[in-house]
Amino acid sequence: MPVATSLADIQINKSGAGGRPAATVTVDSGVSLDKLVGVLQKEITRNSLLRKKLGLKACTACISGMDLDIRHRFDHVMQVDLNKIG
């Protein structure tokens, strides 16, 4: 039986699809909402250095101006080197 994991990957772009800062969070299916909210607060909303790098001037209680995309992690991920495709 597979062991449940509790991992979250956070990818942050200064300029996402909407032209605003964007964070894409990929989580395992076993992650609880409480844990996810805690991670988002610690790593994004309360991280003053990150907010400064992204140009966000909001208080630590909100993430105004940042798009947030939360996704489930896939079981199988393929990485393809496009330079090797003919």
Secondary structure of 17-70 as H, E, C letters? CCCCCEEEEEECCCCCHHHHHHHHHHHHHCCHHHHHHHCCCCCCCCCCCCEEEE
**Interval 44-85: pLDDT, tens:** 888 888 888 888 776 655 656 788 888 888 877 788 888 888
- Annotated domain spans of the chain: 8-84
The H-assigned helical ranges of the chain are 33-40, 48-54
Residue whose C-alpha is closest to residue 66's, from 12, 8, 29: 12
Q: What is the mean pLDDT of residues 19-35?
A: 86
What confidence tier does 30 reach under pLDDT thresholds 50, 70, 90? confident
Global pTM reads 0.68
